[in-house]
Amino acid sequence: MDFIIKNEYLELTVSSRGAEKQKLVSSKGINYLRQPDNIWNRTAPFLFPNVGRVKGNYTFINDNRYDLPQHGFLRDQEFEVMRQVDDEIALVNLSNEETLKLFPFMYKVIVQYQLKDKELITKVSITNEDNTVMPFNIGGHPGFFCPLYENEEFTDYRLVFNKQETFNAPSVESDGTLNFNKFSEEFKQLKELKLDYSYFEIDAIVIPRVKSKEVKLINKNNKGIKFNYEDFLTLAIWTRPNAGFLCLEPWIGYADRHNSNHQFIEKDNIIKLNPSEEKEVKYTITIID
pLDDT of amino acid 121:
98
For residue 189, the cross-strand partners are none
8 A C-beta contact, residue 37 and residue 13:
no
pLDDT per residue of the chain (289 residues) written in tens, 0 to 9: 999 999 999 999 999 999 999 999 999 999 999 999 999 999 999 999 999 999 999 999 999 999 999 999 999 999 999 999 999 999 999 999 999 999 999 999 999 999 999 999 999 999 999 999 999 999 999 999 999 999 999 999 999 999 999 999 999 999 999 999 999 999 999 999 999 999 999 899 999 999 999 999 999 999 999 999 999 999 999 999 999 999 999 999 999 999 999 999 999 999 999 999 999 999 999 999 9
> How far is residue 170's CA from residue 153's CA, in Å, rounded to a whole number?
28
pLDDT of amino acid 243:
97
8 A C-beta contact, residue 193 and residue 166:
no
pLDDT of amino acid 202:
85
Cβ–Cβ contacts within 10 Å for residue 129, how many? 15
8 A C-beta contact, residue 99 and residue 210:
no
pLDDT of amino acid 91:
98
- Global model pTM greater than 0.95: yes
pLDDT of amino acid 124:
98
Cα angle 62, 66, 72 (rounded to 5 degrees) comes to 115
Question: Shortest CA distance to 89 belongs to which of 118, 122, 117?
Answer: 122
Helices (runs of H) and strands (runs of E) counted in the chain: 1, 22
Q: How many CA atoms lie within 13 A of 278 on its CB side?
A: 8
> How far is residue 101's CA from residue 229's CA, in Å, rounded to a whole number?
31
Look up residue 95 and give its amino acid. Answer: S
